[in-house]
Structure 1
């Protein structure tokens, strides 16, 4: 089921059939260099199963990002409820396979997810968190109107200094 379409992208719900293609992305050490480690196949399977459960229980989750022109899966983007610095937040996240970096896809997908969250889901606030040195992720957040809210040491990611960006529906 397609959730969001943009000029160049389709964001759709995951199915178990997406595991092999998503695992290529999530197991890549370059793509996942800001995560604690690249995913194993089992972690990719859990990622998809957890998102399928989120669709059923919350009506949203992370979605496969697919290029309209050729059907290639290039990343993952969407919203999860996550603990960020001890608080439950609507967490906008994005992971794009490194061959597709610097082409504007992350901004396009993240902005579409932000609009979907505010306009279709009725969410009032979104956060994004990233390692302090993940400049590209910070630029994506800034380009979609998010502002840096705070910094914290992230126990879920090797105690790295982490930046939290946020935006409210009325901004």
Structure 2
């Protein structure tokens, strides 16, 4: 699914011309602090190119979530293959513009991405992880039905790992609250 709508946002597969917005989002010091710290533009370019390659290879990845009224970027969220402490996983990841924090938009993006992954792509499970200090991100994971699994180390920093299986997703109430359009 290259494009879809949630109740309040338009999700689009990233295009090469989206790189400046990707940088603007992830170079905001308030956003970067939730992701382990600031990254250089060269590092962001590598990450962006990896995201585009993931789409080309797997047919899914991270979406750019926009305000459908004006096209303004709200955040990025999606799914990717990742290695977590030596194990192959499918990871839910998200980042939201600081100005959009506290409005339930990260939860809406995460729920939509999980619906695509667990229902439409048929993934068996999805993990997400965040810094142990990032209580807002942890709350998003909990609100979409993910359960704490264990503490991990990622990028030499302490994180918490959450998991959601397809069976848990189907039993949970989240998918009815955040339907795709």
Shorter-normalised TM range: over 0.9
Query: TM-score of the superposition, structure 2-length normalised?
Result: 0.88
2:161 aligned partner: 164
Quick one: distance in 2 between partners of 1:37 and 1:134?
A: 12
Following TM superposition, by how much is the alpha carbon of 1:28 offset from its aligned partner in structure 2, in angstroms?
1.0
3-state DSSP class of the match of 2:36?
coil
- Greater RCO, CA 8 A, separation 6+: 2
Question: 1:47 & 1:65 partners in 2: Cα distance?
Answer: 17
Q: Does the alignment pair 1:117 with 2:82?
A: no
The Cα shift of 1:61 comes to: 1.1
Preserved CA contact (<8 Å) 2:36 2:131 = no
* Secondary structure class of the residue paired with 1:111: helix
Report the CA distance between 1:18 and its aligned residue: 0.5
SS of equivalent to 2:78: strand
Residue 27 of structure 1: aligned partner: 27
C-alpha RMSD over aligned residues: 1.4
Partners of 2:78 and 2:18 lie apart in 1 by 16
Q: What's 1:94 paired with?
A: 94
Gaps of 5+ in 2: 169-181
Corresponding residue number in structure 1 for 2:8 = 8
* Distance in 2, Cα, partners of 1:119 & 1:153: 29
